[in-house]
Structure 1
Amino acid sequence: MPMRFSGQQELGQAYRELLALCDRLETLADSIPRRIDMTSCRVIMTELPEKLRRVHALEETILFPAVEGRRGTDDRDALIARLRAEHDQDDRAAVELVRVLKAVLDNRASLSWDAIGYMLRGFFETVRRHVATERLILWRHA
């Protein structure tokens, strides 16, 4: 069983909150185009950037040092570089997603409903996969 380390509980809570937001994104995607929950759009627009930034900041202060401090781990620099690149990609995707949701709220979306649903699904599936991978890394490197 891996050891516990400082910040692990806080990171775990941040992951749970981000995954709950992914569940809301999935519910929203499932509702397109029949009945868009505008309140949910507003909540997601508000919470997504904040929750994603919090998770990334915690990962960089908790997960990355755990990986870097692990002796005998080949390719740890490449792993950290990959994780940083994923953070950048997630951040850019979140900005675009918020922009599209704002356009939906303002009734000026230029994308089709299919494209919006695909965008939502692509984002939450990527974030879920990212969290699962980083949890595995934590378990292996803690």
Structure 2
Amino acid sequence: MSGQDTLEEGYQNLLGLCDRLEAIADSLPRRIDTAGCREVAIRLPSTLLAVHRLEDEILFPAITAARCPDDGQRLIERLRDEHRHDGEAAAQVARTLNDLLHSRSPHSWEAIGYMLRAFFETVRRHVATERLLLAERI
């Protein structure tokens, strides 16, 4: 399996978790999908981190090779900033899902739904952009 295939598999796993988050958000507050919350809370941070590492290994060198040094470096810095933000947001989403599982969330249903939606929409846009970069050969 090529590096790009491995990265695409990571994207598919991450987008699958986004789909689970969307289903959880859609079901609140009438029903809490405990199995879905547990699975996403466990898998989300590590899956996101694995994808970010693959991007460091596969996408970032391709950006460096295809663009002038300054432009490539600025793009990589922006993507790394997004990675940091997404990693922090994934940890917060995981904590919130765990709080839901233990009936101790300090947030309103609306706030939880908004948080989940903001996260999965951001991740979906991020993946779409990086797929476009790869498809266009950076």
Task: Give the TM-score normalised by the residue count of structure 1.
Answer: 0.92
CA positional deviation for 1:76: 1.1
- Which residue of structure 1 lines up, in the alignment, with residue 80 of structure 2? 84
CA positional deviation for 1:6: 4.2
Point out 4+ residue stretches in structure 1 off by more than 4 angstroms. 71-74
CA positional deviation for 1:50: 1.3
Alignment of 1:103-142 (within 5 A): 103-141=99-137
Structure 1, unmatched stretches of 5+, are none
Aligned residues: 138
**C-alpha distance in 2, partners of 1:27/1:71?**
39
Alignment of 1:42-121 (within 5 A): 42-72=38-68, 75-121=71-117
Output the aligned Cα RMSD.
1.5
CA positional deviation for 1:141: 2.4
2:119 alignment partner AA: F
**C-alpha distance in 1, partners of 2:30/2:96?**
17
**C-alpha distance in 2, partners of 1:12/1:75?**
25
Task: Give the TM-score normalised by the residue count of structure 2.
Answer: 0.95
CA positional deviation for 1:72: 4.3
Q: Pick from 25, 29, 33 the counterpart of residue 29 of structure 1.
A: 25
- Which residue of structure 1 lines up, in the alignment, with residue 3 of structure 2? 7
- Name the % identity: 55
